């Protein structure tokens, strides 16, 4: 092991040898040393003189962090200023990945402290794998004060955890008006890449994803501010360089009347369908409900998988706003439009049709549900006699029917300021040639006369059509925001974004108008909607019972809930120049008369409210939504349990209790 020379004599040194290192070697050593130091100076020159400016920028970027100050979203009110949607303060926990050396060791501690499974954190990390490292990952939204305390207490051990104060949406519970209001969520990559409206949005921005939240997102969102803070490598704030204040979003007043909306929600309870109530003078939507509904509060916090699966697996599509997205055969409600066509063409006035449980056309027997005897236009509407309308359709021909139907808005979007409205279908010879490349057979027109066959329409279209017809031919563009809430430029931008039949006036002879509206009023007394008669209210309407499949298919399927006909009702009060029109769709509701009862409840609620107002009776005030109990600072002496009846609430937990109760007086 010891390889050193052992000779003791060496200590004193062999005197016969040269005892100096050659000067040449030492000079060479000096050059080597000087050379190395020169290289280092060159390195310093390169960094500190040549590239100094670039590194200064990098050092600054290291040190200064822009912390967003999120603008609170505008609140939503009903037409009388009652709060529908509020915000509540919430804290989100983020994970910073930039500085952390060994994240995996910390994950179990983090998981325990934040009460989330480790696997979920791993999944989140995987999801953000490709995101730039400086981008913080949201670990858990809406954390509890306990979890916040955990993060504060572990600032040194877990510097990768960061919290951000946010304002979170607080929606009415139980999916109240959820389709109208919509919900917010993170802007999707698809929206960012494909939709020019989102060109200036950043990934992670919260935007309206449906309903009013989507249409008026630009107004509601406000402008985020930011703070320039000086941080150390752990992201800990050590100073501030100034800030830009956030500009809160604009509050918006909806045309919805909370009382009527409540009546609509209540009427639809446990059913599948939609109700629309509109003021036909202006096009203001007074109520818009769709069932089944969903809880938008679940969307504003990160959606749980189980809730998303529940929504996806529901065959009745809870996210679908059936008021503007359900395209279904309108059934006998279409007879109103048939009557307009027949009367305007001068045919229906003189028609007298014998009904004997139906009639034969083109060799086929078309059934009517009753033996109505001799029928004319005045009783064809209240009795909803199919035979009469088979005959009328046959005489008008499909293209004439289509002309009138289109003029009142069938097969066109209404232009309501809500996203994803559908247009429906109105068959005609040209339509059939275009879509099916086939000739129209004369016999096909017969079922069109009773709103079956290829005709589809949405409740919104029917409400607008009826409103226009009952107003003497003046049609309005339905809308959910008062136009004076926004600037004319914004209004025209909204109109451009939601094209449709909009505002329109058609010619409608007063005599014809009178016949139809009188006949519809008779329908709620002696006709098909007689059971929905409202004493002392000038209430007119028309039922519709639309088969969902042909008789043959029905026979094959062997029955079942989904084969039951859809029940429609359109109604108004008063019968001429109405103050309210209502359209009700109850899918598989069996009889139009069933929907008529629901429609009557809406009309009743409306009239009841007018009477109270007229007699100066105080209208129920619904308390403002409360901040969730755990977020709310409890003040001594204040009862905490003042939970309002309707708006409410506890955003996170699914409320199993209590449906909608009308506000107590």
Partner 1 sequence: MFRLARYRDFDWVLLGFVLLLSLISVLEIKSATLHTKFHGFEQKQILFLVVGVVLMFIVSLIDYHRLVDISPYAYGVSIVALIAVKLVGTKVLGARRWINLGGGVHFQPSEWVKLVLIIAIARYFWGLVGKDLTWPDIGKAFALVGIPMALVLIQPDLGTTLTYLPILIAGLFLGGLKLKQAGIILLGVILVGGITWKSGKRLKPYQQARINAFLDPDTDPKGSGYQIRQSLIAVGSGGIWGKGTNQGTQTQGDFLPIPYTDFIFAAFCEEHGFVGAVGVLLLYLLVLMRLIQNAQTASDLPGAFIIMGIVAVIVFQIAVNIGMVLGLMPVTGIPLPLMSYGGSSILFTFLSLGIVMNIRMRRFVN
Binding site for partner 1 (CB under 8 A): 1-8, 10-14, 17-21, 23, 25-26, 29-30, 32-34, 36-37, 39-41, 43-49, 51-52, 54-56, 58-60, 62-63, 98-101, 133, 230-234, 238
Cα dihedral 98/103/107/109 (nearest 10): -100
CB of 101 to partner 1, least distance (A): 7
| Cα–Cα distances in angstroms (integers) from residue 628 to residues 298, 578, 660, in the given order | 14, 41, 19
In our burial notation (b when 16+ CB lie closer than 10 A, e otherwise), range 48-61 reads eeeeeeeeeeeeee
Residue 131 structure tokens:
């995101």
Name the residue nearer to partner 1 (CB basis): 9 or 360.
Answer: 9
Name the residue nearer to partner 1 (CB basis): 13 or 558.
Answer: 13
CB of 56 to partner 1, least distance (A): 4
Looking at the DSSP assignment, which residues form a beta bridge with residue 587? none
Name the residue nearer to partner 1 (CB basis): 52 or 549.
Answer: 52
The answer to whether 170 and 88 have CB atoms below 8 angstroms apart is yes
CB of 187 to partner 1, least distance (A): 27
| Cα–Cα distances in angstroms (integers) from residue 652 to residues 205, 502, 514, 570, in the given order | 21, 39, 52, 37
Per-residue HEC secondary structure of 296-334 comes to HHHHHCCCCHHHHHHHHHCCCCCCCCHHHHCCECCHHHH
Name the residue nearer to partner 1 (CB basis): 22 or 642.
Answer: 22
CB of 57 to partner 1, least distance (A): 8
Name the residue nearer to partner 1 (CB basis): 51 or 223.
Answer: 51
Name the residue nearer to partner 1 (CB basis): 97 or 266.
Answer: 97
The answer to whether 279 and 105 have CB atoms below 8 angstroms apart is no
Q: Token match 């931008």: residue?
A: 493
| Cα 97 from Cα 108, distance rounded (Å) | 16
Name the residue nearer to partner 1 (CB basis): 51 or 497.
Answer: 51
Name the residue nearer to partner 1 (CB basis): 29 or 433.
Answer: 29
| Cα 276 from Cα 352, distance rounded (Å) | 35
CB of 5 to partner 1, least distance (A): 4
CB of 96 to partner 1, least distance (A): 12
| Cα 22 from Cα 40, distance rounded (Å) | 28
287 by Cβ neighbours in 10 Å (0-12 / 13-18 / 19+) ranks as buried
The answer to whether 323 and 275 have CB atoms below 8 angstroms apart is yes
| Cα 137 from Cα 100, distance rounded (Å) | 13
Residue 4: count of CB within 10 angstroms of its CB: 5
| Cα 108 from Cα 459, distance rounded (Å) | 53
CB of 136 to partner 1, least distance (A): 15
Name the residue nearer to partner 1 (CB basis): 240 or 304.
Answer: 240
Name the residue nearer to partner 1 (CB basis): 133 or 197.
Answer: 133
The answer to whether 458 and 325 have CB atoms below 8 angstroms apart is yes
Name the residue nearer to partner 1 (CB basis): 66 or 197.
Answer: 66
CB of 23 to partner 1, least distance (A): 7
In our burial notation (b when 16+ CB lie closer than 10 A, e otherwise), range 535-559 reads eebbbbbbbbbbbbeeeeebeeeee
Residue 495 structure tokens:
């109109």
CB of 37 to partner 1, least distance (A): 5
Name the residue nearer to partner 1 (CB basis): 175 or 235.
Answer: 235
Name the residue nearer to partner 1 (CB basis): 230 or 548.
Answer: 230
Residue 172 structure tokens:
């009415």
472 φ, ψ (degrees, to nearest 5): 75, 25
The answer to whether 398 and 440 have CB atoms below 8 angstroms apart is yes
CA 514 remoteness from chain centre: 39
Task: Report the length, in residues, of the chain.
Answer: 665
CB of 226 to partner 1, least distance (A): 20
CB of 123 to partner 1, least distance (A): 21
518 by Cβ neighbours in 10 Å (0-12 / 13-18 / 19+) ranks as middle
| Cα 269 from Cα 531, distance rounded (Å) | 20
| Cα–Cα distances in angstroms (integers) from residue 182 to residues 174, 213, 290, 657, in the given order | 13, 5, 12, 23
CB of 163 to partner 1, least distance (A): 20
CB of 152 to partner 1, least distance (A): 19
CB of 314 to partner 1, least distance (A): 45
């Amino acid at each position: 092991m010891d390889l050193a020379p052992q000779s003791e004599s060496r200590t004193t040194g062999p005197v016969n040898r040269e005892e100096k290192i050659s000067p040449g070697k030492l000079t060479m050593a000096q050059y080597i040393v000087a050379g190395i130091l020169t290289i280092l100076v060159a390195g310093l020159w390169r960094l500190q003189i040549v590239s100094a400016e670039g590194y200064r920028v990098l050092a600054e970027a290291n040190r200064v962090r822009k912390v967003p100050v999120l603008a609170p979203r505008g609140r939503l009110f009903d037409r009388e200023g009652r709060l529908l949607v509020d915000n509540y303060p919430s804290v989100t926990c983020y994970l910073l990945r930039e500085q952390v050396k060994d994240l995996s060791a910390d994950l179990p501690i983090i998981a325990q402290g934040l009460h989330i499974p480790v696997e979920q954190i791993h999944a989140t990390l995987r999801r953000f794998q490709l995101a730039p490292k400086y981008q913080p990952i949201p670990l858990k939204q809406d954390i509890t004060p306990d979890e916040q305390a955990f993060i504060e207490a572990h600032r040194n051990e877990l510097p990768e955890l960061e919290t951000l104060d946010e304002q979170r949406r607080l929606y009415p519970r139980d999916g109240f008006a959820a389709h109208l209001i919509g919900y917010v969520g993170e802007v999707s990559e698809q929206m960012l890449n494909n939709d020019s409206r989102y060109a200036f949005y950043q990934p992670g921005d919260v935007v309206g994803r449906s309903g009013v939240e989507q249409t008026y997102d630009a107004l509601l969102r406000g402008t985020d501010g930011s703070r320039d803070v000086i941080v150390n490598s752990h992201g800990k704030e050590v100073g501030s360089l100034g800030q830009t204040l956030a500009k809160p979003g604009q509050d918006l007043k909806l045309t919805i009347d909370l009382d009527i909306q409540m009546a609509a929600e209540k009427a639809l309870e446990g059913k599948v369908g939609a109700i629309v109530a509109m003021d036909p003078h202006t096009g203001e939507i007074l109520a818009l409900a769709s069932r089944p509904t969903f809880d938008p509060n679940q969307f504003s916090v990160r959606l749980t998988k189980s809730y998303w699966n529940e929504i996806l697996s529901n065959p009745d599509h809870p996210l679908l706003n059936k008021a503007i997205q359900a395209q279904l055969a309108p059934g006998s409600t279409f007879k109103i439009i048939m009557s307009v066509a027949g009367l305007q063409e001068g045919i229906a006035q003189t028609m007298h049709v014998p009904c004997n449980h139906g009639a034969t056309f083109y060799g086929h027997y078309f059934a009517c549900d009753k033996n109505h005897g001799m029928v004319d236009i005045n009783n064809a509407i209240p009795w909803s006699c199919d035979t009469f309308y088979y005959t009328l359709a046959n005489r008008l021909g499909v293209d004439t029917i289509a002309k009138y139907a289109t003029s009142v808005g069938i097969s066109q979007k209404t232009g309501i300021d809500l996203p994803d409205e559908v247009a429906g279908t109105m068959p005609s010879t040209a339509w059939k040639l275009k879509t099916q490349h086939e000739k129209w057979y004369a016999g096909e027109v017969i079922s069109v006369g009773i709103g079956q066959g290829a005709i589809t329409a949405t409740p919104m279209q029917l409400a607008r059509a009826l409103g226009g017809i009952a107003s003497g031919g003046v049609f309005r563009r339905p809308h959910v925001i008062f136009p004076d809430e926004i600037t004319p430029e914004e209004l025209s931008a909204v109109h451009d974004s939601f094209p449709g039949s909009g505002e329109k006036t058609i010619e409608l002879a007063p005599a014809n108008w009178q016949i139809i509206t009188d006949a519809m009023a008779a329908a709620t007394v002696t006709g098909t909607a007689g059971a929905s008669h409202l004493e002392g209210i000038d209430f007119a309407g028309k039922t519709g019972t639309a088969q969902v499949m042909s008789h043959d298919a029905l026979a094959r399927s062997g029955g079942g809930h989904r084969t039951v006909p859809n029940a429609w009702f359109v109604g108004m009060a008063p019968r001429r120049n109405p103050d309210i029109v209502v359209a009700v769709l109850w899918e598989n509701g069996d009889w139009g008369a069933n929907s008529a009862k629901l429609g009557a409840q809406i009309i009743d609620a409306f009239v009841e409210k007018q009477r109270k107002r007229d007699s100066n009776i105080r209208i129920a005030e619904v308390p403002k939504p409360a901040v969730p109990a755990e977020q709310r600072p409890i003040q001594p002496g204040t009862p905490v349990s003042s939970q309002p009846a309707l708006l409410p609430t506890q955003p996170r937990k699914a409320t199993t209790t209590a449906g909608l109760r009308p506000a107590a007086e």
